[in-house]
């Protein structure tokens, strides 16, 4: 349909002509529709979470007497604050470790020419294609043998290195001018010093991108915590949310308040770093 319409209005049409104006209107219409579709469910979550109980099924676009009672209910019913702290710890640690292990591995592949570089690179890239559901049973057995069930460490360690992180930093580091590395090496600098004093300070942008993506994906991670967690107070917010839904699935107000609390940190990060977040995801991928 889009194509027929665009065919009718030739590309050269400027804003002044009638067909140009129609087209411009249609372009905005498409984008407004898509934006509405993207944002309305989130808007509706916030509105519902602010409605008092007797108004919960109202369809007005804004609650007539907004109240925070749903939030109070959630905070008293489940250990929401504790879970938010847990999730922050897990996400920050995961992001930090992915950056560090990624930097090391990428540095090794860029700085040294090894016989096995190709094989290692392939091994790292291919680990991406192994669906987690395929390795989940051995992973679970290993985690329980190491005593990691129901712990935050257990949520962090298996994600401490990721093919995505390594390849992202590898690609960024490869474009780093080798002359500088060579010069530093000739000056007798140790590889450790070169990494931290020359390479890392010049990798700000990719490191920031990776941290943003890793933090957000760790925050949203659901499957591994689902396997590992037992008690809500030892778990992350996604699991708490699911437990809350299973128990109180039809208390729509509190459920929406819980969902809003669980997404709040990510939405705040997005509001502040909006351009960076979009760019990081677009440059480097889907997680």
The residue assigned the tokens 């390849």 is: 167
Angle, helices 252-284/18-50, rounded to nearest 10 degrees: 130
Which of 161, 159, 139, 162 lies closest to 228 in space, CA to CA?
Answer: 139
**35 counts as binding another protein under rule CB under 8 A:** yes
Query: What's the longest Cα–Cα distance across the chain?
Result: 75
Query: Which element (helix H / strand E) includes 72?
Result: helix 69-77
**9 counts as binding another protein under rule CB under 8 A:** yes
* Smallest separation, CB 259 to another protein (Å): 5
**184 counts as binding another protein under rule CB under 8 A:** no
Write phi, then psi, for 286 (nearest 5 degrees): -105, 135
* Smallest separation, CB 78 to another protein (Å): 14
Residues 101-120 that bind another protein (CB under 8 A): 101-102, 104-105, 107-109, 111-115, 117-118, 120
Distance in angstroms (rounded) separating the CA atoms of residues 66 and 55: 10
Distance in angstroms (rounded) separating the CA atoms of residues 277 and 6: 32
Is residue 55 within 8 Å of 65, Cβ to Cβ?
yes
Q: Which region, judged by CB under 8 A, interacts with another protein, from 25-33, 63-71, 76-84, 202-210? A: 25-33
**19 counts as binding another protein under rule CB under 8 A:** no
Query: With left for phi above 0 and alpha for psi between -120 and 50, is residue 60 left, alpha or beta?
Result: beta
Is residue 224 within 8 Å of 217, Cβ to Cβ?
no
Residues 69-88 that bind another protein (CB under 8 A): none
Q: Which region, judged by CB under 8 A, interacts with another protein, from 63-71, 74-82, 197-205, 261-269? A: 261-269
**158 counts as binding another protein under rule CB under 8 A:** yes
Whichever of 71 and 107 has its CB closer to another protein, that residue is: 107
- Give the contact letters, 202-241, x = binds to another protein (CB under 8 A), - = no: --------------xx-xxxxxx-xx----------x--x
**172 counts as binding another protein under rule CB under 8 A:** no
Local structure of residue 78 (DSSP, 8 states): S
Q: Which region, judged by CB under 8 A, interacts with another protein, from 32-40, 77-85, 178-186, 198-206? A: 32-40
Whichever of 90 and 168 has its CB closer to another protein, that residue is: 168
Among 44, 66, 153, 230, binds another protein (CB under 8 A): 44
* Smallest separation, CB 180 to another protein (Å): 18
Spacing of C-alpha 192 from chain mean position? 30
Which of 211, 213, 218, 212 lies closest to 237 in space, CA to CA?
Answer: 218
* Smallest separation, CB 145 to another protein (Å): 8
Whichever of 50 and 109 has its CB closer to another protein, that residue is: 109
């Amino acid at each position: 349909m889009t194509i027929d319409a665009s065919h009718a209005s030739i590309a050269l049409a400027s804003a002044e002509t009638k067909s140009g104006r129609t087209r411009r209107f249609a372009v905005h219409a498409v984008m407004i529709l898509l934006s509405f579709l993207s944002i309305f469910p989130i808007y509706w979550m916030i509105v519902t979470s602010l409605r008092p109980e007797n108004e919960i099924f109202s369809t007005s676009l804004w609650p007539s007497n907004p109240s925070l009672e749903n939030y109070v209910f959630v905070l008293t019913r489940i250990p929401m604050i504790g879970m938010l702290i847990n999730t922050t710890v897990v996400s920050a640690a995961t992001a930090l470790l992915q950056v560090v292990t990624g930097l090391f591995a990428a540095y090794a592949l860029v700085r040294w020419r090894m016989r096995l570089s190709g094989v290692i690179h392939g091994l790292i890239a291919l680990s991406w294609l192994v669906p987690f559901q395929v390795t989940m049973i051995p992973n679970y057995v290993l985690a329980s043998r190491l005593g990691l069930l129901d712990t935050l460490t257990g949520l962090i360690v298996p994600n401490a290195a990721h093919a995505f992180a390594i390849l992202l930093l590898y690609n960024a580091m490869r474009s780093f001018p080798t002359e500088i590395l060579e010069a530093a090496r000739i000056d007798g600098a140790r590889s450790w010093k070169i990494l931290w004093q020359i390479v890392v300070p010049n990798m700000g942008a990719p490191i920031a991108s990776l941290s943003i993506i890793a933090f957000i994906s760790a925050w949203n991670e659901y499957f591994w915590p689902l396997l590992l967690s037992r008690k809500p107070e030892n778990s992350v917010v996604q699991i708490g949310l699911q437990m809350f839904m299973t128990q109180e699935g039809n208390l729509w107000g509190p459920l929406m308040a819980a969902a809003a609390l669980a997404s709040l940190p990510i939405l705040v990060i997005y509001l502040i770093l909006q351009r960076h977040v979009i760019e990081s995801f677009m440059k480097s991928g889907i997680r």
